[in-house]
Amino acid sequence: MRVIDFGCAMGFFSLPIVRMVRPNGKVCCVDVQKKMLDVLEKKARKKKLIEQIELINCNEGTLSIEHLKDKIDFVLAIAVLHELPEQKIFFQQIFSFMKKGSKILIAEPKGHVTTEILKELYH
């Protein structure tokens, strides 16, 4: 299984997910902050989990995951969407890379992602 933890920060969810997808799975940790990815890398090395992690430093214009097209089984986006200037563009990009039948889990503070955006994307 290939999982993307979008907005992974220091790996609060990433590292436990690595343990869940072992031995053949991979977790792609995507964040705009390089410093967060550096901390995550150190933690993963210390816990001997680095082989199953791909660190991806994205930017506001692109998710930098083009090489994962049709390889993503699950996307995790926890408390990160409210940070994005264009949520609709994020959803369009991420959905275009997900495998058919894959899942996405979004958790946000109330009121930050409107149901209108989600309805528009599903139609």
53 by DSSP, 3-state: which?
A: strand
CATH number at residue 85: 3.40.50.150
**Tens of pLDDT along 64-108?**
888 999 999 999 999 888 788 777 778 888 888 899 999 999 888
Per the structure, the complete domain to which residue 15 belongs is given by 2-122
pLDDT at 62 (0 to 100): 78
Residue type, 69: K
Distance CA(59)–CA(32), nearest Å, equals 5
Q: Which amino acid is at 55?
A: L
Please tell me the predicted confidence (pLDDT) of residue 75: 95
The pTM for the full model equals: 0.86
Residues in the chain: 123
pLDDT tier at 12 (50, 70, 90 boundaries)?
very high
Number of domains in the chain: 1
CA 96 to chain centre: 14
What is the structure's pLDDT at 26? Answer: 96
Dig out the tokens for 111 from the structure.
């009121």
Question: Could you read off the pLDDT of 30-75 as tens digits, one per residue?
Answer: 999 999 999 999 999 999 999 999 999 998 777 888 899 999 999 9
What is the 3 state secondary structure string of 66-108? HHHCCCEEEEEEECCHHHCCCHHHHHHHHHHHEEEEEEEEEEC
